């Protein structure tokens, strides 16, 4: 049975609701539904809101697995009180301390003062900063258990980096439910508690993986190895979006496949950040996402908990290093500075590096580290990123594009080698496939992008639709997720060179692609190029993954031709193994 609490509108008139449902013996999910959560609010490119899932397990003892976001305070606590007298809660399991799951732990503790907080060592340390009061605690490791009685024996699995270093999974042997918090989740808000509609869920499931999990692909595979040793898993109870039950094998299979793919490159960038310091987590994640788009493997390491041997080992293997500046004083400063010293001692010349500040308020001086690394013979991939205020979508876009540039630089030698190895006759023959010339333009909020495109082909009459192939490392790819809108500008033969030259330029990360170009906004908000022959207003309907491109199928809502007598510019190539 699903029980829904009344709607609540926040000051910004966003719709928030809470539902509960019994999902197994003695087990109830409390889903906080955040219908209109903004893009870039938590993850980049949020389209369909999100949910925060919390679970109540009632054996002889009672456990609450995670809570909710603070914005649900009243709704969540009222709902919880409707299910149980919170004073009866014996354990509060903290899967992960990011405030979207732990934002109400302090409130629950006030109602359940005798509850023991269960979590990984790191989680308990983070939680102290969140609740600012003493609490009973139980620090657990992989394989350890808590017996709630009535068969509900909870077994814990360390799953660091999914998505913070503090993450644990919890497996209930009685119900075969695995509680995974961020892992296997999706920012997808609808009435369905479970994953009935695979087709509808798939694009968000994938995009969430790309944003949060791809930079931690090796950690995903390690966690999945540990999962394989548990008993049968009948349900994955996620922290966001629908719970996986109907398509569990398919969706976990995708995680395995994607993570194997993401971690197979021998070109590795070690990303060193400082969790819970300024916006270091998010900035590093945005840059890492940009790097993974180029096929380069990312391994993330939190400087707060970094084991010197592991730091040493990662620096030794990595071709590139990305370092978020640690604090120069305060909690954990000594450890993080020591970790940076370990990095400096382990670096090799010819490695590439990039540095960023994350608005932590008390950063180690970035220029000093920049100079030290340069003096040691390392090559700077980009000018240090200095975030001087709360980062917004433009900052995250710049960070992602910086990461892509860094990844492209590292992957270039291999790419050239691959291209050279192709058969000359074959590449010439393939080059005889010709196509039109187009500029794709997209704008969402404060973010915009554009790309010269030629691999475009009409694909359907009803609805009117076409496909476009977009290289995975294109900046605009992030703005072409299912449901996103854009404009296809069709270039005019004889009047295309200026636009073509402009958009062929290599733009620095975050640069305005439209500076000096005449545009007007389309109904969907994306720019129409005034000098194009025709334009189409489009929406992404689906995406198919290919080896190095996304094949994006789009439907067309509107369009116009400016000069009836003109024809489309055509692109004739000499070889088929490049554009």
Question: If you count them, how many residues does the chain have?
Answer: 579
Query: Given the rule CB under 6 A, which of 95-103, 309-317, 364-372, 394-402 is the region that contacts ligand FEO?
Result: 95-103
CA-atom Rg of the chain in angstroms? 25
C-beta of 99 vs 525, nearer to ligand FEO: 99
Q: Any bridge partners for residue 443, and if so which?
A: 448
Binding residues for ligand FEO, total number by CB under 6 A: 8
Q: Which residue of 37, 240, 319, 496 would you call a contact of ligand FEO, by CB under 6 A? A: 240
- Check if the beta carbon of residue 203 is closer than 8 Å to that of residue 543: yes
CA separation for the pair 93, 46 (Å, rounded): 27
Q: Which residue of 31, 58, 71, 101 would you call a contact of ligand FEO, by CB under 6 A? A: 101
Query: Given the rule CB under 6 A, which of 17-25, 94-102, 353-361, 549-557 is the region that contacts ligand FEO?
Result: 94-102
C-beta of 101 vs 513, nearer to ligand FEO: 101
Kindly list the distances between the CA atom of residue 410 and the CA atoms of 174, 316, 548, 575, in Å, as whole numbers in the listed order: 48, 16, 16, 24
Whole-number minimum distance, CB 384 to ligand FEO, in Å? 26
CA separation for the pair 92, 40 (Å, rounded): 29
Whole-number minimum distance, CB 69 to ligand FEO, in Å? 9
C-beta of 101 vs 293, nearer to ligand FEO: 101
Contact between 34 and ligand FEO (CB under 6 A)?
no
Token reading at 83:
């299910």
Contact between 66 and ligand FEO (CB under 6 A)?
no
Whole-number minimum distance, CB 212 to ligand FEO, in Å? 7
C-beta of 239 vs 327, nearer to ligand FEO: 239
502 Cβ neighbours under 8 A, 6+ residues apart: 516, 517
Whole-number minimum distance, CB 32 to ligand FEO, in Å? 12
C-beta of 148 vs 212, nearer to ligand FEO: 212
Contact between 71 and ligand FEO (CB under 6 A)?
no
Q: Going along 343-395, which residue ranges are E strands?
A: 352-358, 379-380, 385-387
CA separation for the pair 97, 191 (Å, rounded): 26
505 Cβ neighbours under 8 A, 6+ residues apart: none
Restricting to residues 159-178, which ones interact with ligand FEO according to CB under 6 A? 163
Helix (H, G, I), strand (E, B) or coil at 489: strand
Contact between 477 and ligand FEO (CB under 6 A)?
no
Q: Which residue has the tokens 């969402």?
A: 444
Q: Which residue of 239, 290, 326, 391 would you call a contact of ligand FEO, by CB under 6 A? A: 239
Whole-number minimum distance, CB 162 to ligand FEO, in Å? 9
Whole-number minimum distance, CB 101 to ligand FEO, in Å? 6
Contact between 69 and ligand FEO (CB under 6 A)?
no
Restricting to residues 358-377, which ones interact with ligand FEO according to CB under 6 A? none
Residue nearest to ligand FEO (CB): 98
Q: Which residue of 34, 66, 100, 204 would you call a contact of ligand FEO, by CB under 6 A? A: 100
Give the phi and the psi of residue 355 in degrees, each rounded to 5: -120, 150
Restricting to residues 181-220, which ones interact with ligand FEO according to CB under 6 A? 182
Residue of 343, 110, 100 whose CA lies nearest to 240: 100
Restricting to residues 539-578, which ones interact with ligand FEO according to CB under 6 A? none
Token reading at 164:
């913070």
Kindly list the distances between the CA atom of residue 150 and the CA atoms of 131, 138, 147, in Å, as whole numbers in the listed order: 31, 21, 9
CA separation for the pair 510, 394 (Å, rounded): 7
Token reading at 323:
């370092």
- Positions that interact with ligand FEO (CB under 6 A): 96, 98, 100-101, 163, 182, 239-240
């Amino acid at each position: 049975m699903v029980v829904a609490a009344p709607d609540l509108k926040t000051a910004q008139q966003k719709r928030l609701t809470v539902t509960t449902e019994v999902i197994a013996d003695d087990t109830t999910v409390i889903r906080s539904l955040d219908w209109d959560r903004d893009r870039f609010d938590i993850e980049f490119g949020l389209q369909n809101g999100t949910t925060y899932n919390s679970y109540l397990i009632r054996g002889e003892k009672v456990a609450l697995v995670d809570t909710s976001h603070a914005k649900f305070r009243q709704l969540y606590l009222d709902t919880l009180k409707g299910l149980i007298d919170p004073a009866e809660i014996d354990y509060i399991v903290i899967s992960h301390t990011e405030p979207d799951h732990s934002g109400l732990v302090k409130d629950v503790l006030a109602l359940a003062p005798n509850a023991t907080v269960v979590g990984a060592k790191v989680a308990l340390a983070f939680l102290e900063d969140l609740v600012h009061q003493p609490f009973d605690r139980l620090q657990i490791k992989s394989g350890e258990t808590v017996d709630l009685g009535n068969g509900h024996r909870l077994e814990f699995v360390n799953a660091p980096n999914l998505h913070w270093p503090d993450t644990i999974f919890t497996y209930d042997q009685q119900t075969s439910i695995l509680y995974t918090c961020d892992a296997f989740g999706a920012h997808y808000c609808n009435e369905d508690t479970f994953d009935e509609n695979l087709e509808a869920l798939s694009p968000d499931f994938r995009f969430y993986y790309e944003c949060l999990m791809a930079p931690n692909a090796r950690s995903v595979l390690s966690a999945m190895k540990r999962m394989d040793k548990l008993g049968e898993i009948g349900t994955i109870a996620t922290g966001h979006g629908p719970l996986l039950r109907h398509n569990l094998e398919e969706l976990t299979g995708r995680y395995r496949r994607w993570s194997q793919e993401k971690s197979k490159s021998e070109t590795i960038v070690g990303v060193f950040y400082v969790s819970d310091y300024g916006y270091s987590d998010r900035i590093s994640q945005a840059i890492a996402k940009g790097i993974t788009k180029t096929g380069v493997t990312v391994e993330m390491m939190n400087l707060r908990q970094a084991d010197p041997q592991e730091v040493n080992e990662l620096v030794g293997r990595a071709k590139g290093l990305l370092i978020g500046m640690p604090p120069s004083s305060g909690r954990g400063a000594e450890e993080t500075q020591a970790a940076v010293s370990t990095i400096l001692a382990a670096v090799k010349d010819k490695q590439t590096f990039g540095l960023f500040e994350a608005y932590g308020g008390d950063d180690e001086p970035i220029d000093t580290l920049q100079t030290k690394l340069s003096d040691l013979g390392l090559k700077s991939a980009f000018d240090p990123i200095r975030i001087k205020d709360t980062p917004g979508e433009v900052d995250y876009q710049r960070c992602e594009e910086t990461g892509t540039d860094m990844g492209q630089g590292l992957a270039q030698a291999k790419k050239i080698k691959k291209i050279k190895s192709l058969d000359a006759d074959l590449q010439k023959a393939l080059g005889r496939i010709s196509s039109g010339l187009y500029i794709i333009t997209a704008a969402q909020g404060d973010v915009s992008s554009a790309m010269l495109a030629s691999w475009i082909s009409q694909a359907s009459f009803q609805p009117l639709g076409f496909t476009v192939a977009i290289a995975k490392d294109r900046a605009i790819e992030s703005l072409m997720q299912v449901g996103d809108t854009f404009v296809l500008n069709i270039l005019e033969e004889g009047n295309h060179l200026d636009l073509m030259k402009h958009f062929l330029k290599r733009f620095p990360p975050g640069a305005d692609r439209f500076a000096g170009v005449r545009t007007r906004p389309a109904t969907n908000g994306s720019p129409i190029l005034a000098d194009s022959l025709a334009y189409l207003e489009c929406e992404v309907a689906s995406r198919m993954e290919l080896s190095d491109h996304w094949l994006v199928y789009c439907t067309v809502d509107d369009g116009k031709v400016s000069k009836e007598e003109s024809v489309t510019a055509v692109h004739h190539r000499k070889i088929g193994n490049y554009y």
